């Protein structure tokens, strides 16, 4: 007869496994064939990422990474509308107001997960079907393969809520062609469908209805080579004419975002005076001036940093934002009261001093993120 302790352990282990495949769980973690599959399962919340999900996904990725029977990792969302619409920002602001540790723990553990994805030794395939924003970008963009569909809506809209494009945005955004990454970071512009591939964010474009068949074929793969997976994805991939996009006037427009300061970018847009430039000025005027200045510096510095150094820098910025007023005001205006009229402090770019910005980038000593 098993000892009571062992029996209890067996029961607990069974409960843990059944919880993970239970349809009500926030994240489903399954092994099918040679694939480890992560399914974000909060469809009503557009699969927004919370701390308990992060705490389930991170150790599972680490386990699969060591498992010789796991050839690749697939991540996807349920509900048909979103891959993952972002992090659970409301929970963080609620905690920040009462001085709870969640604002430290969430960002620290989320960025540690982003790094695990960026350094994952097993091929990692993100099926970014539907809304993919903020925290959802962090769960996908650092992996080997990102498969967009006609339903994909990609954005980093953080400057509109007093934050900055985190989850490694300082690493991948400045590395996109032209100045498109700066444009996306500062304005929060939404890229849709094929444009997500054209901008260099997705690696493949597949019709949404073909994803179940693609997933089945990925699961059936008998070998772990990145080449095999690339070949399979290429066989589903719908060719998009990238050449015309790279040379098109659309990319030329983004050069307006190549100033050394936010004031310079605003000047460029005013001098250009085109309908595109005027529209961008209107957008920028709605964003948090503090966030805009932090974001521009984050991208300029991140352009030459490793992903680990970028995430360490972004953790410092996250804690600066949690200390300041704009993050709470932005979340109030956009997510809580939804009046879309945030009152930023300070209210103008000129009032955000270089000294203040420098301060936000300072190391946090023993509180720094260690990767």
Catalytic residues: 87, 135, 158, 166
For CA atoms 96, 99, 102, 108, the dihedral sign is positive
224: exposed, middle or buried (C-beta count within 10 Å: 0-12, 13-18, 19+)? middle
In angstroms, the CA 38 to CA 49 distance is 13
Q: What is the DSSP string of 86-100?
A: -B-HHHHHHHHHTT-
In angstroms, the CA 55 to CA 58 distance is 6
* Tokens of residue 234, six digits: 């290429």
For CA atoms 340, 337, 100, 40, the dihedral sign is negative
In angstroms, the CA 350 to CA 342 distance is 18
In angstroms, the CA 312 to CA 108 distance is 9
The residue among 215, 262, 238 whose CA lies nearest residue 73 is: 215
């Amino acid at each position: 007869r098993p000892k009571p302790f062992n029996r209890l352990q067996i029961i607990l282990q069974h409960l843990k496994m059944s919880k993970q495949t239970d349809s009500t769980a926030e994240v489903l973690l399954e092994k099918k064939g040679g694939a480890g599959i992560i399914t974000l399962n909060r469809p009503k919340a557009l699969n927004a990422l919370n701390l308990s999900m992060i705490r389930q996904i991170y150790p599972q990725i680490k386990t699969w990474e060591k498992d010789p029977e796991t050839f690749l990792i697939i991540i996807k969302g349920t509900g048909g509308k979103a891959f993952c619409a972002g992090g659970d920002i409301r929970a963080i602001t609620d905690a920040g107001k009462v001085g709870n540790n969640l604002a430290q723990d969430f960002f620290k553990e989320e960025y540690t997960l982003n790094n695990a994805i960026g350094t994952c030794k097993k091929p990692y395939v993100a099926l970014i079907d539907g809304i993919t924003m903020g925290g959802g970008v962090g769960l996908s963009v650092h992996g080997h393969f990102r498969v967009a569909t006609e339903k994909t809506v990609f954005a980093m809209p953080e400057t509109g809520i007093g934050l900055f494009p985190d989850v490694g945005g300082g690493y991948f955004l400045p590395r996109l062609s032209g100045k498109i990454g700066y444009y996306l970071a500062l304005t929060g512009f939404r890229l849709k469908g094929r444009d997500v591939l054209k901008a260099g964010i997705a690696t493949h474009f597949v019709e949404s209805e073909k994803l179940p068949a693609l997933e089945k074929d990925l699961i059936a793969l008998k070998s772990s080579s990145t080449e095999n997976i690339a070949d399979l994805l290429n066989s589903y991939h719908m060719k998009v004419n990238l050449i015309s996009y790279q040379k098109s006037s659309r990319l030329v427009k983004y050069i307006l975002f190549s100033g050394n300061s936010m004031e310079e970018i605003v000047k460029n847009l005013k001098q250009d005076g085109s309908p595109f430039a005027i529209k961008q000025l209107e957008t920028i005027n709605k964003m948090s001036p503090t966030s805009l200045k932090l974001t521009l510096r984050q991208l300029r510095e991140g352009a030459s940093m490793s992903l680990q150094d970028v995430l360490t820098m972004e953790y410092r910025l996250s804690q600066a934002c949690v200390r300041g007023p704009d993050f709470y005001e932005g979340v109030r205006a956009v997510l809580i009261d939804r009046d879309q009229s945030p009152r930023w402090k300070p209210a103008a770019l000129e009032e955000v001093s270089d000294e203040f910005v420098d301060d936000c980038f300072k190391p946090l000593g023993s509180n720094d993120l260690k990767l």
